[in-house]
Amino acid sequence: MMKTVLITGATSGLGLEMARLYHQQGARLVLIGRRPLAQLQEDLFTEERYCQVDLGLPEAAEVIKNWLDERAIETVDVLIHNAAVGYYGTVADQPTPSMAQLIQVNVKAPIAVTHALLPRVTAVRGQLVFVGSVASVLPTAEYVTYTASKAALDGFARSLRIELGEQASVLVLHPGATHTGMHEKIGISREKLNWEKFPAAAVVAQHMVAVIERGKGGRVALGLGNKLLRRVGLTAGAIVERMMRLAARPERHLAQENSKRPHVVITGVAEGIGKELALRFAWAGFEVTGVDVNVGGALETKRQIAQRG
- Which among 22, 50, 143, 146 is annotated as catalytic? 146
Residue 105 has pLDDT above 80, yes or no: yes
H or E element that contains 296 = helix 295-308
The mean pLDDT of 141-149, rounded to a whole number, is: 87
Which of the four CATH numbers 2.40.50.100, 3.40.50.1970, 3.40.50.300, 3.40.50.720 does domain 4-222 have? 3.40.50.720
Please tell me the predicted confidence (pLDDT) of residue 197.
60
3-class DSSP state of 266? strand
Q: Strand 287-291 and strand 127-131: pairing?
A: unpaired
Give the tens place of pLDDT for each residue, 223-238. Answer: 655 555 555 555 555 5
Distance of CA 283 to the CA centre of its chain: 25
Maximum average pLDDT range among 20-29, 134-143, 202-211, 251-260: 20-29
For the question of residue 146 being annotated catalytic, the response is: yes
Q: How far is CA 142 from CA 69, 128, 209, 244, 293, in A?
A: 41, 30, 30, 11, 30
Q: Rounded CA gap, 282 and 228, in Å?
A: 20
Please tell me the predicted confidence (pLDDT) of residue 188.
57
Average pLDDT, the chain: 84
Please tell me the predicted confidence (pLDDT) of residue 246.
58
Cα maximum dimension of the chain: 72
The mean pLDDT of 83-112, rounded to a whole number, is: 94
Confidence class of residue 309 from pLDDT cuts 50, 70 and 90? low
Please tell me the predicted confidence (pLDDT) of residue 254.
42
CB-CB contact of 175 with 131 (8 Å): yes
CB-CB contact of 233 with 141 (8 Å): no
Residue 31 has pLDDT above 50, yes or no: yes
The domain limits of the chain are 4-222, 233-308
